[in-house]
Structures are given as C-alpha cells and as structure tokens.
Amino acid sequence: MMLSIRDLRVSFEDSSGDSTEVVHGINLDLARGESLGIVGESGSGKSVLSLATIGLLPGTARASGQIMFEGQDLLTLPEKQMCGLRGRKIGMIFQEPMSALNPAMTVGAQIAEGLRLHKGMSQSDAKTEALRLLEMVQIPQATQRINSYPHEMSGGQRQRVGIAIAIALKPDLLIADEPTTALDVTVQAEILDILDDLVTDLGISLILISHDLGVIARISDRTLVMYKGDEMEHGDTERVLRSPQHDYTRKLLDAMPSRARKSLDQTGMEGPHA
C-alpha cells in the first residue's frame, strides 16, 4: 500500500486547555494509481484528515495513530523531511486556487520556479515543461496564457494552474480538497475529467474530497463516507451508490442533484433511484 492510515485521531486544544477530538479513529488504504473519494457534510473532518496527511495541521492540533506513506509514518516524521515530501511526493489542490498562487508572478514563472528549485532544471527547460503542464491541464492557448497573471484568468483556469503546479513534481499522491466547489457546474465537470485522466495517465493516486457525492461518484474507485469525524461506510463507489449501508449515505444520495444522478447513469451506474 502506498498510503495506510490507522486509527487516526485528531483533537484541537482551545485556549483554556480543553481538547476536543474531531477525527475519531479513521482507517484507510490507498494503492498506487487508485482513487479514493472522501465525502461528508461540512464539519465531518475531511479537511483535518487531509491536512494531517500533508503535515499541515495547525499547532493547536494533536494527532495520534499512524499515517504510513511509502514506508514512513508521516505523524512522526520530522518537519524537515515532511517538507521534502510535500510537493515532491504528495501534491495538494485546494478549493480556492488563488490561495495557492502568487498574485505577483505569471503562472508560467510559478510553475517553472518549482521545477528549477526542486528538479534543478534550467530556466529554458523549466519553461518548456511549464508549457507542457499547462497543455496537460487543457489551458487553451497555453503559449500565450503562460505569461498571464492569476487575476487575468477565470476561476476554472486558475484551478487548472493549481493542478499543473500540484503535478509538476510528479507526486505519487495527490490530495484534492473540494477542488471544484467554487466553480460552476460545467467547469466542475471539466476539472474532474482532468483529474481522472491524470490518475489514469500518470498513475498518480488521488484522494478527492467533497461534500457532494456526485463529484466523488464521477471519478473515485472507492468511497469513504464520513460524518462528524467517524467513518459511516467505506467501499467500492459503485457498491456505496447502489446499496448504501448507512442512513447517512442515503441522505447524501438524496441530496445529489438529479443532474449528477444522470451522469452516474451515463457511467453505467444505476444509482439508487433507477
């Protein structure tokens, strides 16, 4: 297994020293090239789980259990080594791509910077590679757009750039936390297709996080349903959609817009209402 999380618990300490556990012993496994969806309403602990995995929990958080990634326990890994893994081995895509971008640099320069710093590429090699990455995430007219600043791009294009940056160093694992939540439906579908292709073409493992089961259903092999820090159910996406074992999953299915259910039908899944 590339990633094995065992009994992960995370709690936060408040100013009076009281501690509240928000993730209550989550287990999950992810193999190379596999795609796992984590779904649950806001406050379920999805982001806390992903931040724990990339070692970016705030200082007030305490985590216990194990996060084994390629043979190392990330929970006990010194920050210096964690820093080396972040970006290089584990890439991250956030809901608001602007937060991951530097507003004062062209998108091409931002992608190239990481390649020069971490891969030791020359300026011109890094620029060529940046262009290739922008084409991979289907930025139209990439040769021109490479010189754009983030604010000159649409939300969907910025998220494509965010993905290009996240995959630039060829990570083994990509964590996408609500990557399409801020985008309109059409763009959402395009971004999900790009992520799906990357997993297939580059053999990257993907953890896709969303409050929307329709988003997860579109590309994830397996689905973990979380509620208030607990696992509700976990299994093959198709099985979870066809025969949810838990009332909470049924609630999420009912909350899915009919449009999303239709797209499930198109992928050959019958869904619960067929």
Binding site for ligand ADP (CB under 6 A): 12, 22, 40, 42-48, 58, 60
Interior angle at CA 55, CA 206 and CA 205, nearest 5:
10
Instruction: Tell which residue, 31, 40, 33, 34, has the closest CA to residue 70.
Output: 31
Residue 128 engages Mg ion in binding (rule: CB under 5 A): no
Residue 48 touches which member of Mg ion, ligand ADP, none, C-beta under 5-8 Å by kind = ligand ADP
> Of the two residues 40 and 108, which places its CB atom closer to Mg ion in the complex?
40
Q: Is the dihedral of CA 86, 90, 93, 94 positive or negative?
A: negative
Site for Mg ion in 20-59 (CB under 5 A): 47
> Of the two residues 46 and 218, which places its CB atom closer to Mg ion in the complex?
46
Closest residue to Mg ion, judged by C-beta, is 47
CB of 220 to Mg ion, least distance (A): 17
CB of 174 to Mg ion, least distance (A): 16
CB of 139 to ligand ADP, least distance (A): 28
Closest residue to ligand ADP, judged by C-beta, is 47
Residue 58 touches which member of ligand ADP, Mg ion, none, C-beta under 5-8 Å by kind = ligand ADP
Buried b (16+ CB within 10 A) or exposed e, 173-182: bbbbbbbbeb
Residue 138 engages Mg ion in binding (rule: CB under 5 A): no
Residue 45 touches which member of ligand ADP, Mg ion, none, C-beta under 5-8 Å by kind = ligand ADP
Which residues lie below 8 Å from residue 137, measured CB to CB, with a gap of 6+?
Answer: 160, 161, 163, 164, 194
Residue 181 engages Mg ion in binding (rule: CB under 5 A): no
> Of the two residues 47 and 72, which places its CB atom closer to Mg ion in the complex?
47
Residue 2 touches which member of ligand ADP, Mg ion, none, C-beta under 5-8 Å by kind = none
Structure tokens belonging to residue 42: 């806001």
Residue 95 touches which member of Mg ion, ligand ADP, none, C-beta under 5-8 Å by kind = none
CB of 152 to Mg ion, least distance (A): 28
Interface ranges with Mg ion (CB under 5 A): 47
